[in-house]
Amino acid sequence: MSGFFGFIHNFADILYTELYAIYQGLLLAKDMGIIVLVCYFDSLRCINIINGPSMIFVCYTVLIQDIKKMIQQGNITVNHTLREENQCADVIAKFGASFNVELIRHDFPSMNLLHFL
Q: What percent of the chain has pLDDT over 70?
A: 56
* The pLDDT of residue 3: 64
> How far does CA 81 lie from the centroid of its chain?
13
Q: What is the pLDDT of residue 5?
A: 57
Q: Can you tell me the mean pLDDT for 47-60?
A: 78
Rounded CA gap, 105 and 94, in Å? 15
String of DSSP letters for 11-58: ---HHHHHHHHHHHHHHHHHHTT--EEEEEES-HHHHHHHHS-----T
**pLDDT of 112 higher than 90:** no
| pLDDT at residue 111 greater than cutoff 90 | no
pLDDT digits (tens, 9 = 90+) for 19-31: 888 998 898 888 8
Third-level CATH fold of 3-106: Nucleotidyltransferase; domain 5 (3.30.420)
Q: Looking at this protein, which amino acid is placed at residue 41?
A: F
CA–CA gap between residue 69 and residue 3 (Å, rounded): 21
* Segments making up each domain of the chain, as ranges: 3-106
- Residue 11 CB-half CA count within 13 A: 15
Q: Among 12-21, 44-53, 91-100, name the one with the lowest average pLDDT.
A: 91-100
Phi, psi of 80 (to 5 degrees): -95, 145
Amino acid at 34: I
The pLDDT value recorded for residue 12 is 67
